[in-house]
Amino acid sequence: MKRHWNCLDSQFKYENRIVKVREDTYHFLPNNITHDFLVLEFSDWVNIIPETSEGEVVMIRQYRHGVRRETFEIPGGLISEEDPDPSAGASREMTEETGYTSDDIIHIGTVEPNPAIQSNRCHTYLARNAVPGAGQNLDPTEAIRIELIKKSKVYDMIRQGQITHGLVVAAFAYLLLHEGKDAVQPPK
């Protein structure tokens, strides 16, 4: 595609510990107009589907301040500077939030959470044969309950709107595509 956009200016307008808000001014060549675009700069994120040898997913329930209620999710979080790579971050988040560990972690997909307004990525992993370990290791501001759910029931919960986190739904899209057609049951 012909180059349509030239960035003329870029200014930070707000910053806290998890996001920087940037305003970029672009010249749009085809119509010869300038326009501002908002960009939210975050670290890269990870999430991980811990699956036991019995085909259960280790899910978590926690209060989320964006929607101001408890949600049903898989473990995940920010990649830390101490993580040697994203899979280490995913493994760390799984162990901190659920106590489960796995020595069989594979990458199944990477999304850009919102390419229109965010520059970051979220890497999704599958932890096979996850086993309960030393228990949770939570931050002082975390209260997380774990719940083991049969994978087929997880898909039903997505279909029925009981699991709504966009990055979690995307993670299970990768799992469905990774596992192939036997994974999906017809809707009831």
Q: Show contacts with a second copy in window 98-157 (CB under 8 A).
A: 109-119, 121-122, 140-141, 143, 145, 155
Minimum gap (Å) between residue 96 Cβ and a second copy: 15
Name residues contacting a second copy, limited to 39-58 (CB under 8 A). 39-40
Among 11, 64, 106, 135, binds a second copy (CB under 8 A): 64
CB of 55 to a second copy, least distance (A): 16
Asked if residues 71 and 62 have their Cβ atoms less than 8 Å apart, the reply is: yes
DSSP at 81? T
CB of 91 to a second copy, least distance (A): 20
Find the radius of gyration of the CA atoms of the chain: 19
Cα 42 from chain centroid (whole Å):
12
Residue 158 binds to a second copy (criterion: CB under 8 A): yes
Work out whether 26 is an interface residue with a second copy (CB under 8 A): yes
Helix axis angle, 166-179 to 151-159, nearest 10°: 130
Position 63 contacts a second copy (CB under 8 A): yes
Q: Minimum distance from CB of 70 to a second copy (Å)?
A: 6
Task: Decide: is 159 part of the binding site for a second copy (CB under 8 A).
Answer: yes
CA 79, CA 58: separation in Å to the nearest integer?
Answer: 20
Q: Which stretch binds a second copy (CB under 8 A): 36-44, 52-60, 87-95, 125-133?
A: 36-44
Residue from the set 9, 103, 135, 184 that interacts with a second copy by CB under 8 A = 184
Rounded Cα distance between 27 and 2, Å, is: 14
3-state DSSP call for residue 137?
Answer: coil
In the complex with a second copy, the residue whose CB is nearer, 116 or 134, is: 116
* Nearest alpha carbon to residue 61 among 97, 24, 100: 97
Burial class from Cβ neighbours inside 10 Å (0-12, 13-18, 19+) for residue 34 reads exposed
Closer Cβ to a second copy, 100 or 155, answer by number: 155
